[in-house]
Amino acid sequence: MVKAPWQDVAQIAQDLRAKSIADIKPAIPDVPSHAEIPLNTTSIPRKLLGEAELNITESPPEELLRSLASGQLSSVEVVTAFLRRAGIAQTLANCVTEVLPKAAIERATYLDEYLKTNKKPIGPLHGLPISVKEHIGMKGLGLNGGFVSWWDHVGKEDAHIIQLLQNAGCVLYVRTTQPQCLMHLETANNLYGVTVNPYNRNLTSGGSSGGEGVLIALKGSCLGIGTDIGGSIRAPSANNGIWGFKPTSYRLPMGGMTAPMAGSEQIVAVVGPMSASFEGCHVFMKTLIDQKPWLTDPALLPMPWTYPPKESYLTKPDGEKKLKIGIIWSDGVVKPHPPVIRAIQDLTAKLKSIPEVELVDWKPYKHDLAWDVISALYFCDGAKQEKEALASSGEPWLPLTEFIIKEQPQVPDREFTISEVWQRTVKRDEYRKEYAKAWTETAQDGYPVDVILCPVGPGAAPPLNQSRYWGYTAQWNLLDYPAMIFPVTQLDPKKDPVETGYQPLNAKDEFNYKLYEPEKYVDAPVSLQLVGRRYDDEKVFEAMEFIQKSVGHLPLESFK
Residues in contact with its own copies by CB under 8 A are: 255, 261-266, 294-299, 301-303, 380-382, 384-385, 415-419, 421-426, 429, 432-433, 435-437, 440, 479-480, 533-535
Cβ proximity of 257 and 226 under 8 Å:
no
Distance CA 560, CA 558 (A): 6
Residue 497 beta carbon to its own copies: minimum distance, rounded to whole angstroms = 40
**Helix/strand/coil percentages in the chain, nearest 5:** 40, 15, 45
CA angle 34, 36, 42 (to 5 degrees): 65
Answer left, alpha or beta for residue 199, where phi above 0 means left and psi between -120 and 50 means alpha: alpha
Distance CA 460, CA 238 (A): 8
Residue 494: Cβ within 10 Å count: 6
Residue 302 beta carbon to its own copies: minimum distance, rounded to whole angstroms = 5
Report cis status (omega within 30 of 0) of the bond before 208.
yes
Residue 521: Cβ within 10 Å count: 27
Residue 410 beta carbon to its own copies: minimum distance, rounded to whole angstroms = 15
> Does the annotation list 208 as a binding residue?
yes
Of 325, 371, 343, the residue nearest 496 (C-alpha): 343
Q: Between helices 61-70 and 75-93, what is the axis angle to 10°? A: 150
Instruction: For residue 316, indicate whether it is catalytic.
Output: no
Residue among 29 and 382 whose Cβ is closer to its own copies: 382
Distance CA 328, CA 360 (A): 9
> Does the annotation list 182 as a binding residue?
yes
Residue 432 beta carbon to its own copies: minimum distance, rounded to whole angstroms = 5
Residue 430 beta carbon to its own copies: minimum distance, rounded to whole angstroms = 10
In the set 131, 205, 232, 330, the catalytic residue is: 232
Of 462, 409, 502, 483, the residue nearest 185 (C-alpha): 462
Residue 541 beta carbon to its own copies: minimum distance, rounded to whole angstroms = 16
Residue among 237 and 248 whose Cβ is closer to its own copies: 248
Residue among 147 and 329 whose Cβ is closer to its own copies: 147
Question: What one-character DSSP code corresponds to residue 30?
Answer: P
Residue among 303 and 515 whose Cβ is closer to its own copies: 303
Q: Is 3 exposed, middle or buried (0-12, 13-18, 19+ CB in 10 A)?
A: exposed
Task: For 387-429, give the DSSP string.
Answer: HHHHHHHTPPPPHHHHHHHHS-TTS-SSPPPHHHHHHHHHHHH
Residue among 384 and 508 whose Cβ is closer to its own copies: 384
Residue among 114 and 431 whose Cβ is closer to its own copies: 431
Instruction: For residue 208, indicate whether it is catalytic.
Output: yes
Question: What one-character DSSP code corresponds to residue 314?
Answer: T
> Does the annotation list 229 as a binding residue?
yes
> Does the annotation list 191 as a binding residue?
no
Residue 191 beta carbon to its own copies: minimum distance, rounded to whole angstroms = 25
Residue among 284 and 431 whose Cβ is closer to its own copies: 431
Of 43, 46, 44, the residue nearest 56 (C-alpha): 46
Task: For 255-295, give the DSSP string.
Answer: TTB--TTTT--SS--EEEEEESSHHHHHHHHHHHHTT-GGG
Residue 539 beta carbon to its own copies: minimum distance, rounded to whole angstroms = 11
Residue among 296 and 345 whose Cβ is closer to its own copies: 296
Residue 485 beta carbon to its own copies: minimum distance, rounded to whole angstroms = 22
Residue among 422 and 502 whose Cβ is closer to its own copies: 422
CA angle 232, 235, 237 (to 5 degrees): 100
Q: Between helices 367-378 and 418-441, what is the axis angle to 10°? A: 150
> Does the annotation list 326 as a binding residue?
no
> Which residue type does 85 have?
R
Residues in Cβ contact with 38 at an 8 Å cutoff, skipping those fewer than 6 apart:
none
In the set 20, 131, 205, 208, the catalytic residue is: 208
Report cis status (omega within 30 of 0) of the bond before 482.
no
In the set 59, 133, 322, 393, the catalytic residue is: 133
> Does the annotation list 216 as a binding residue?
no
Residues in Cβ contact with 430 at an 8 Å cutoff, skipping those fewer than 6 apart:
none
Distance CA 401, CA 353 (A): 45
Report cis status (omega within 30 of 0) of the bond before 124.
no
Residue among 282 and 424 whose Cβ is closer to its own copies: 424
Residue 339 beta carbon to its own copies: minimum distance, rounded to whole angstroms = 33
Question: What one-character DSSP code corresponds to residue 518?
Answer: G
Query: What H or E segment, with its residue span, contains residue 508?
Result: helix 507-515
Q: Which residues are annotated as a binding site?
A: 182, 208, 229-232
Q: What are the catalytic residues? A: 133, 208, 232
Q: Which residues are annotated as a binding site for substrate?
A: 182, 208, 229-232
